[in-house]
Structure 1
Amino acid sequence: MGNCIAKSSTKDSDSDHLVEFAAGNVKLITTKESWDQNLEEARRDGKIVIANFSATWCGPCKMIAPFFCELSEKYPSIMFLVIDVDELTDFSTSWDIKATPTFFFLRDGKQIDKLVGANKPELQKKIIAIVDSMAPCQ
């Protein structure tokens, strides 16, 4: 399995220590405003959102981050977001996060599925099911 390298070299306000979580097409969410903007963009574009609530100290989060990144490049029709539960504590609490990583699958801002834990096969299975459900009928 290859590693994801951040393609962007732009300087922005996102924390450097999170770059491994937000490579490929994964967007790092550091503010509630950024969350709202990305959800609005996804709604406008008809995209499903997968929100990964993670923590930098969490071993399983670090283990699945490169895989999440690879999936983001493989499935450009889905918006992949990562939220650091320690940076956005109140926001994460509002989603009732009990363990990291927790993945929420959202359509039009509403939860359609959820996965708790760094379970690569299950994450991929859920993404494939979503992609298949989005495909136009033949």
Structure 2
Amino acid sequence: MGNCWRKKRYSDDCSKHKIGFGSGNVSVINTKESWDEKLTEASKNGKIVVVNFSASWCGPCKSIAPFYCELSEKYPSLMFLSVDVDELAEFSSTWDIRATPTFYFLRDGQQVDQIVGANKSDLQKKIASHAK
């Protein structure tokens, strides 16, 4: 389904285009330190982490964000994070994000699964399978 190829941030102020990537039980990651804290917390609690690498300018990211937030409430046994690839560009590049949205599933900080694109059905199936 839909995805956006990575593009450079526009020179104008993108903050007016922000959407609610952090509602529900989704934690928005703004720093490497907050990333490390959440992964440590997830490891301690034996939780799988679902990470939504997205961008405020990406149409498919905007369309799937509310669904992602709904899933975060439906599956509290998982930890849901959201990373804006423009706000944390250097960090995101270490995860080799080539399109948005990209969803990673992590166990003890290591990738165990991935989805590229805004396919609601695939996302729901993967999240449900990892919640078991």
Scaled by the length of structure 2, the TM-score of the pair is: 0.86
Q: Give the Cα separation in 1 of the matches to 2:56 and 2:44.
A: 31
Scaled by the length of structure 1, the TM-score of the pair is: 0.82
TM-align CA RMSD: 1.4
- Partner SS for 1:23: coil
1:12-34 per-position Cα deviation (integer Å, ceiling 9, x unaligned): xxx79645110000000000000
Change (3 A) 1:18 1:77: farther
Q: Give the Cα separation in 1 of the matches to 2:43 and 2:120.
A: 26
In structure 1, runs of 5+ residues without a counterpart are 1-14, 133-138
User: How many pairs were matched up?
Assistant: 118
- Partner SS for 1:83: strand
Q: Alpha-carbon deviation of 1:128? A: 1.1
1:30-78 per-position Cα deviation (integer Å, ceiling 9, x unaligned): 0000000000000000000001000000000000000000000000110
TM superposition outliers: structure 1 runs of 4+ over 6 Å:
none
Change (3 A) 1:43 1:18: farther
1:61-113 per-position Cα deviation (integer Å, ceiling 9, x unaligned): 00000000000000011000000000000000000000000000000000000
Q: Give the Cα separation in 2 of the matches to 1:83 and 1:128.
A: 21
Q: Does 1:83 align with 2:83?
A: yes
Q: Give the Cα separation in 2 of the matches to 1:68 and 1:119.
A: 11
Q: Alpha-carbon deviation of 1:131? A: 1.5
Matched residue type, 1:71: L
| Larger RCO (CA within 8 A; separation ≥ 6) | 2
Equivalent pair of 2:102/2:114 in contact (CA under 8 Å): yes
Q: Does 1:67 align with 2:67?
A: yes
Q: Does 1:24 align with 2:24?
A: yes
* More divergent stretch after superposition (109-118 vs 16-25): 16-25
